[in-house]
Amino acid sequence: MAGKMFAGTMEEMDLVERHILMLKATRENEPVGIIRLSEILNIPRHKVRYSLRLLEQDGLIRATPEGAVVTDRYNEFMNDLSTQLDSVVVRINRLREQVSRK
């Protein structure tokens, strides 16, 4: 039962994780293209392309003739994400307490 309830949540978490991995790999290897990112991360090219498109729409990377590079928003994004993840952990712990009380 819980599996179906959280299936969408888990898929979203997988997507966020992939975007973070993609962003970090881009920063460490910039400029980097789709094929190289696919090889580095062992992620299919179509998923790399999709993630790069979303990261570009969010202004976190930009395409250059040599490949993708991160923008100056990278550090701010990672700091904000860390703060948001801290909030998620607090909420998960609160939910865990509710479940444990049966």
pTM for this structure? 0.82
Domain 12-100 has what CATH class?
mainly alpha
What pLDDT does residue 17 have?
Answer: 93
pLDDT classification of 2: cutoffs 50, 70, 90: low
Kind and range of the H or E run holding 97: helix 74-100
Local structure of 69: helix, strand or coil: strand
Q: Omega into 44 within 30° of 0, i.e. cis?
A: no
- How far apart CA 57 and CA 71 sit, in angstroms, is 12
Q: What does the pLDDT average to over 43-69?
A: 95
For residue 31, the number of C-alpha atoms closer than 13 Å in the C-beta half-sphere is 8
Instruction: With a cut of 60, say whether residue 88 has pLDDT above it.
Output: yes
Domain boundaries, the chain: 12-100
What pLDDT does residue 3 have?
Answer: 63
